[in-house]
Amino acid sequence: MEWILFMTGGAVIGIMSGFFGIGGGIVLTPTLLVLGYEPSQAITLSLMLTLGSTVTGTLSHIRLKNVNVKLAIMLGVSGVVGSVVTVPFVKWLDEINGASTFISVVYIGILSWFAYQFLSKRQQNSKTKGKSAVPVIGLSTGIISSLMGVSGGFVMTPLLTKWLKLNLNKAIGTSISAASIIVLSGITSYMYSGETLDYRHGILLIIGALIGTPIGSIQLKRFSGDVVKRMLAVLYIVVAVSVVLKMFSITTASLGLILVSVLVFFGMLGRGDRTRATS
């Protein structure tokens, strides 16, 4: 029964990862924290899942010609630096029992800010930044990846669309490709620091992600960029609220909110983008 639960969870998160280019950890890490996992354990397990979904997503988006390979490599290399320097900080927070609270506050702040960016009309008038912005995006993504157990795609994707003016599909494909490099470095860094990896659950999640991620990538073609942005913004808000509920020990409501949001997402996939179909 346990293996079915973890494989199904991996497949569900994989579909969301392939669709949004966010790696999956953004949903899994807060869920594991709510379920009582230690922060460093939740992060490493999420990174293992994320590696499976990002690698599969990369292959899918390469076939769909959504990846700027040179840009992905530049983002990945700079992201490795941010990832490696962050791991000792997380381990220190674990030692003083401050990791859960700190990570939760970071989740709430970052998700709320990016949700606002996606929903704000002012982002359309932002100026294009030069190549100097690429290392900044990569470094920031690496830090957030190892701090929150995520691919960092939820940071990279909006910044690539906002600062470098990539179209959303290209930004998602490039983001998830760079994230593969960053996540691998995060897992390696945690292993080097002495963290014990939950290989059994991690492998089950990865298998599920390998199944789900290509499905999400294919579904992306059925939706317009504006609709995907709004859906992603709502997902960010939902996860942020669930983390707030978890901080106040309202765990049932927190898990319920995540579950409902997942069900609504799949309902929308089944319905499709009707505005695009009629345009």
Q: How many domains does the chain have?
A: 1
pLDDT score recorded for residue 32: 84
Q: Which of 3-7, 73-77, 153-157, 230-234 has the lowest mean pLDDT?
A: 153-157
- Specify whether the CB–CB gap between 40 and 99 falls below 8 A: yes
pLDDT score recorded for residue 88: 92
Lookup result for tokens 């995006």: 137
Residue 274 confidence (pLDDT) above 90: no
User: What residues make up the domain containing 150?
Assistant: 2-277
- Specify whether the CB–CB gap between 123 and 265 falls below 8 A: no
pLDDT more than 70, % of the chain: 94
pLDDT score recorded for residue 277: 52
Nearest to 104 by CA among 232, 261, 247, 239: 247
Residues 53 and 151: their CA atoms lie apart, in Å, by: 9
DSSP assignment of 154-222, as one string? HHHHHHHHHHS---HHHHHHHHHHHHHHHHHHHHHHHHHTTPPP-HHHHHHHHHHHHHHHHHHHHHGGG
pLDDT score recorded for residue 71: 95
- Specify whether the CB–CB gap between 44 and 195 falls below 8 A: yes
DSSP state letter for 278: T
Residue 174 confidence (pLDDT) above 90: yes
